């Protein structure tokens, strides 16, 4: 029986007359009733600070993946309850480019005050520019003092520029000319301050001077490094100096040197890493020679999780990648790579990134999407007319069917940031 089965369908419903009286009241509601209908107000104690912190954390980065300094600065001016929390987020990543910036920073993180200690403890990443050719530049001793005031600092990014005598500089001179400018080495007092400071685990050193010993000085300071990035001038081991074995077992190595680093330097740098099989990431932003890539893969390919070079078009480069049987991530920016690379990818692959134009062969990548169960994401940088590739729709359908995240971008710098591999433990 349905819900309506009890209704007597054989007879029409009986009409019953009712008297209806309508009364329109013109008087306004009582004050108490009006108060009950008002929008709830923020309690006198304000918005719970936990809610504020959650909102600020969610809005921390802007559209360029940089800290939203304007937003955090405005939030710091809202009220006293918000001020310190917003300032701590502002101080999480610090940039020092001049002596005046250093003076303001050291005043803010003065360890003699509670507020200064809290702001200094909030700093975890620092970018510093040592441009000896600029008036009022940040000095090496000032950098050491700033680092010493941040006990929780773990990532340090240093850009060093050389200097010329007054009147000898040429505005807009070629990059090679600028890199021939000399820069002073770190003095003993600055190195001692850095040694007594925080436990740095990630060092990014961009050397735009002819001093090829600066990074070697810094490598002697920290025995806690897990990630190292070297850009610009290649370090050189002096034949007249006996270097003790580099004590750090690196997990990440990124190189973007104007001249390819010598095998002697890389052998010294990665000796401990090879012994402990710790290296997980190799990122070469300039195309390496087949000999260099073969040297790195021979020593570390067994445990390598991420490999990135500009192109795998040459057979020697493709063969080196095929020997890394534990890869989770493979990245190349070129729109042309040997098809055999994708066909021989290990079952562990989770992320592949490549460039795409009209001439890119997509069949091997589509087959990779269809056959690798661990694959999580495919990142495509569209070069020129890459969006018109006739098989791009097939790649999109394959990714959708397999549940693989397909990311399309036209910014190669953003492409380098789109990774899936696990975060290294030293960043946690």
* Structural domains present in the chain: 45-90 (no CATH), 92-166+174-233 (3.80.10)
Of 111-120, 268-277, 332-341, where does mean pLDDT reach its minimum?
Answer: 332-341
Q: Is the pLDDT of residue 107 over 60?
A: yes
Show the beta-strand stretches assigned E in 202-345: 202-208, 227-232, 252-257, 281-284, 306-308, 329-331
Q: How confident is the model at residue 428 (pLDDT cuts 50, 70, 90)?
A: very low
- Give the pLDDT of residue 62: 60
Contact between 159 and 129 under an 8 Å Cβ cutoff? The reply is yes
Classify burial at 339, counting beta carbons within 10 Å of its beta carbon; exposed 0-12, middle 13-18, buried 19 or more: middle
CA atoms of 396 and 378, how far apart (whole Å): 10
End-to-end alpha carbon distance in the chain: 63
Q: Give me the pLDDT at residue 101, please.
A: 94
pLDDT, tens digit, 9 for 90 and up, residues 155-199: 999 999 988 765 555 555 555 556 678 888 999 999 999 999 999
Lookup result for tokens 């303001």: 104
Contact between 211 and 233 (Cβ < 8 Å): yes
Q: Residue 24: pLDDT above 70?
A: no
Residue 4: pLDDT band with limits 50, 70, 90: very low
pLDDT of residue 34: 47
pTM listed for this prediction: 0.80
Question: Which pLDDT belongs to residue 2?
Answer: 40
List of residues 6+ apart from 275 with CB closer than 8 A: 249
pLDDT in tens, 274-295: 999 999 999 999 999 999 999 9
Please provide the average confidence, as pLDDT, over all residues in the chain: 82
CB proximity list for 209: less than 8 A, separation 6 or greater: 132, 160, 161, 162, 179, 181, 182, 183, 232, 233
Phi, psi of 165 (to 5 degrees): -65, 150
3-state DSSP call for residue 304? Answer: coil
> Do residues 153 and 147 lie in contact, with contact meaning Cβ atoms separated by under 8 Å?
yes
The structure tokens listed for 374 are: 């661990």
Reported as a single tens digit per residue, the pLDDT across 217-260 is 999 999 899 999 999 999 999 888 888 889 999 999 999 998 99
Taking alpha carbons only, the member of 340, 396, 330, 387 closest to residue 369 is: 396
Separation CA 327–CA 271 (nearest Å): 21
pLDDT band, residue 23 (cuts 50/70/90): very low
Q: What is the pLDDT of residue 12?
A: 44
């Amino acid at each position: 029986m349905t819900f309506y089965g009890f209704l007597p369908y054989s007879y029409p419903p009986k009409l019953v007359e009712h008297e209806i009286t309508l009364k329109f009241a013109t008087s306004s509601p009582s004050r108490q009733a009006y108060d009950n209908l008002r929008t709830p107000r923020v309690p006198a104690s304000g918005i719970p600070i936990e809610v504020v912190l959650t909102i600020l954390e969610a809005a921390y980065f802007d559209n360029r993946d940089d800290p939203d300094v304007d937003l955090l600065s405005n939030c710091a001016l809202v009220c006293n309850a918000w001020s310190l929390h917003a300032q701590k987020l502002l101080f999480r990543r610090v940039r020092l480019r001049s002596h005046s910036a250093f003076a303001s920073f050291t005043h803010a993180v003065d360890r003699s005050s509670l507020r200064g200690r809290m702001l200094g403890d909030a700093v975890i990443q620092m970018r510093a520019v040592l441009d000896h050719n600029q008036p009022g530049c940040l000095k090496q001793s000032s950098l050491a003092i700033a680092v010493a005031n941040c006990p929780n600092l773990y990532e340090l990014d240093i850009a060093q520029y050389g200097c010329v005598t007054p009147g000898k500089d040429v505005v807009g001179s070629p990059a090679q000319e600028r890199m021939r400018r000399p820069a002073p080495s770190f003095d003993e007092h600055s190195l001692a301050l850095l040694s007594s400071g925080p436990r740095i685990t990630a060092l990014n050193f961009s050397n735009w001077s002819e001093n090829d010993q600066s990074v070697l000085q810094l490598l002697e300071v920290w025995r806690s490094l897990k990630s190292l990035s070297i850009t610009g001038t290649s370090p050189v081991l002096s034949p007249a100096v006996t270097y003790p074995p580099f004590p750090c077992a690196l997990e990440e190595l990124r190189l973007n040197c104007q001249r390819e680093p010598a095998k002697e330097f890389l052998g010294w740098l990665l000796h401990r890493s090879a012994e402990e099989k710790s290296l997980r990431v190799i990122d070469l932003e300039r195309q390496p020679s087949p000999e260099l890539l073969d040297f790195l893969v021979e020593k570390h390919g067994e445990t390598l999780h991420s490999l990135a070079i500009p192109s795998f078009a040459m057979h020697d480069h493709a063969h080196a990648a095929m020997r890394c049987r534990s890869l989770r991530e493979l990245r190349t920016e070129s729109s042309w790579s040997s098809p055999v690379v994708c066909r021989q990818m290990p079952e562990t692959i989770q992320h592949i990134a490549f460039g795409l134009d009209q001439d890119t062969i997509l069949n091997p990548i589509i087959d990779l999407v269809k056959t690798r169960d661990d694959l999580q994401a495919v990142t495509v940088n569209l070069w020129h007319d890459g969006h018109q590739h006739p098989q791009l729709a097939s790649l999109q359908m394959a990714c959708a069917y397999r549940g693989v995240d397909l990311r399309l971008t036209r910014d190669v710098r953003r492409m380098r940031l789109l990774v899936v591999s696990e975060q290294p433990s030293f960043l946690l």
